[in-house]
A and B are shown apart, each in its own frame.
Chain A
Amino acid sequence: MLQTSLKHILTEQDFQDTLRSNENVMICCGRMGPMCIPVYEVMDELQGDYDHVAFRDMEFDGPIGHLIRTLPECKSFRGLPFTVYFKNGKVVRATTSIQTKDQVTEILDAEYAARAAK
């Protein structure tokens, strides 16, 4: 299990339930490495501002890592983490390697409309 303060997706059932019960889902699939940790931290910080988005992480090498690894949108990816944005269960964006808070925010705002009022 990843040592982050995000909610983890640990089973395939969990993965399906998360996509089914949330309109907007961002999943960062990685390891506890230097390119992944900054993305987990950004997600953790944004959780409070985007309460209409479910922020989750998933172990790249874990038993269900293939659910993200084998997505067609990640076919050309060769840098951890693989971060995938879902809307109504469908992939709307995917990024590879480290991302800044601004890059993540830009995608969240573009794909999941306005930030929820605080």
Chain B
Amino acid sequence: MTWDGNPNTYDVIVVGAGPAGLTAGIYLGRAKMRTLVLNEGPVGGQLVLTHEIANYPGVESISGYQLAATMKKQASTFGCTIRSNVAVTNFDLDGEVKTIEVNGKETFCAPAIILAMGGRSRMLSVPGEQEFKGKGISYCATCDGDFFQDKDIIVVGGGNSALEEAVSLTKYARSVTIVHQFDEFQAFAHAIEEARANAKISFIMQSTVTEFMGNGFLQSVKIRNLVSGEITERAIDGVFIFIGYVPNTEKFVGRVQLNSGGEVVVNSSLETNVQGVYAAGDSIQKKYRQVTTAVADGTIAALSAIGHLHNHRANQLEKAL
């Protein structure tokens, strides 16, 4: 809008380059807003974790990587600057002009911010999990399933992902044991039926894995029965963990309003409780988390931010008169 000539000054800074952040970038870029998108990981977010997207309208089937690459290209073509693999190390969201420090050395400022940090798979966070990641512990059945040909494996979790992935892993494994903390599954009926009907799948309910053990690679796990408290050790070749999702909002605790699940609280314009700060995508309080809902949020947040910038500019002009 009114650029002061400082290369680190933007109209809008978007935090996160998943589908929500990239869509915001597309809309802001097209509206000729100086826009910076900052991303901690690779561009595309969870989209690049998806082998095939078959439910994005207008595109019959596409890999998540390709869809993300196209969104990135669109945003860049419209003039948006995208910086990936950077770390947001500090920020100040209060006041008319907000600042964001990156990698502890560069500071960017803008009157509007869009938070689009998405989410990530939850880890069990028990002893041995880091040590045996990639050496028996996996979070991706399609990536690592074939390392477990004719092996005995465990799937931890009881939602749709856990049950669907357990069924898909029976293509490789000799046996799949689902370990779930509750006495029933939190999944669609058809997913539960399919898992129950599979002769290779067995179930350990009301239990959780408390430790991973091995020598160079995973060899056994400790499983605790949550009702009796009994702990048993079980020899195992592999463990796949699908225990849900956590929003990437830890850095923003106490800076914008979050609900008890750590999701950003927004109004219908996707504005947070801090003026000029908007949020979009999987990190906000909402029920359905899909690419389509994330891009819709990115659109709304961008348009709301543009509205805010017009008011900001009018205020500045008024002050100058």
Give me the interface of A with B, judged by CB distance under 8 Å.
Answer: 3, 31-38, 41-42, 45, 75-80, 95-98, 100-101
Contacts and interface: CB of A to CB of B under 8 A. Distances in A.
A77 to B, nearest CB: 6
Most buried by A among B49, B134, B216: B134
Interface in B157-210: none
B269 interface: no
Nearest to A4: B65
A80 B42 contact: no
Contact of B43 (A41, A96, A97, A101): A41
A78 B48 contact: no
Interface in B127-181: 133-138, 140, 142-144, 147-148
A100 B41 contact: yes
Contacts of B136: 78
B78 interface: no
Contacts of A97: 133-134, 138, 144
B63 interface: yes
A79 B217 CA distance: 11
Contacts of B232: none
A68 B223 CA distance: 35
A3 B64 CA distance: 13
B51 interface: yes
B298 to A, nearest CB: 21
B22 to A, nearest CB: 15
A38 B41 contact: yes
B245 to A, nearest CB: 15
A37 B65 contact: yes
Nearest to A40: B42
Contacts of B49: 34
5 contacts: A34-B64, A35-B140, A78-B147, A80-B144, A100-B41
B42 A41 contact: yes
B308 to A, nearest CB: 32
B8 interface: no
B238 interface: yes
Contact of A37 (B42, B134, B142, B147): B42
Given A35-B143, A41-B85, A100-B41, A77 B135 contact: yes
A118 B45 CA distance: 29
Given A41-B42, A97-B134, A33 B142 contact: yes
Interface string B50-83: 1100000000000111000000000000000000
A72 B140 CA distance: 24
B84 interface: yes
Contacts of B144: 35, 78-80, 97
